[in-house]
Amino acid sequence: MVKHEHTGGPTRRQLLTYAGAAAGAAAMGAASFGSVPAFAAVAWRYPFTREYPIGSPFGPRPSPGGIGSTNHQGLDFTAGKDTRIHAIAAGTVIFAGVSGGYGNLTKIQHADGYVSYYGHQNHIDIANGAKVSAGQFIGRVGTTGTSTGNHLHLGITRNGTFIDPAPLVVGAPFANDSSAPSTPRDPYLKVIKSPGRGMAVVGAGYFRDLPTKEFQQCAEALWGDAMPGNDRQFDLWKAISLQGTKV
């Protein structure tokens, strides 16, 4: 049976917010928006619950105060002292402590080879080795290390190389998930769930289980909150979908 595809293509915001297409393709099989996987492994979040100005972007710059780097490997968010910082994606804390010019630094390992850096914190509120969810509170803004004022230095590496965080986190949902991506939902796919069956994505001629919490969060961000039911209803929705009918 042919699986339904929406051929209008994803929006830029969806692609930037839900990066990691390779793992998403493996999770979702052939479901896609045109030729681009409809699902991705890393569900990015903005590091705060509201927007803050970027004081220094990624890349070359004059040295701040004569003490800062001239090749900035991250984004500086000019939030005030003790503003709560949140993890930009789910992962595992691989460092939490003092690290040279970063001052108080937290590093989180994410899927697909990504690592996020949170520098100059006034206080670290997460332990090394801890598992964190996207948007989880991890620390507070400060000016420790080589710094000219209170701010969050957010860095991201992929496979060991620093990349510009802006395409991933600027425009992503706020940490408290109060702003979902302002994009149309795909009208042909829906998330369903039941106590005994878990969660899945269904569409006309399409069914795919969502085996992990990360995949479930991404699916709901793309296609809306899961439609709840009991196990019999779940099985019925699955059967209807595989017969080629939209639930």
Query: Which entry of 72, 110, 151, 153 is annotated as an active-site residue?
Result: 151
SS (H, E, C) 130-187: CEECCCCEEEECECCCCCCCCEEEEEEEECCEEECCHHHHCCCCCCCCCCCCCCCCCC
Half-sphere exposure at residue 103, Cβ-oriented, CA atoms within 13 angstroms: 24
Distance CA 220, CA 201 (A): 9
Q: Which residue has the tokens 């425009």?
A: 171
Strands 54-56 and 75-77, bridge-based pairing: antiparallel
Contact 201, 234 (CB under 8 A): no
- 72 labelled catalytic: no
Strands 84-86 and 137-140, bridge-based pairing: antiparallel
Distance CA 147, CA 149 (A): 6
Distance CA 34, CA 219 (A): 17
The dihedral through the CA atoms of 27, 2, 35, 241 has a sign that is negative
How many Cβ atoms sit within 10 Å of the Cβ of residue 50? 12
Closest alpha carbon to 40 in 13, 1, 67: 13
Q: Which residues are catalytic?
A: 151
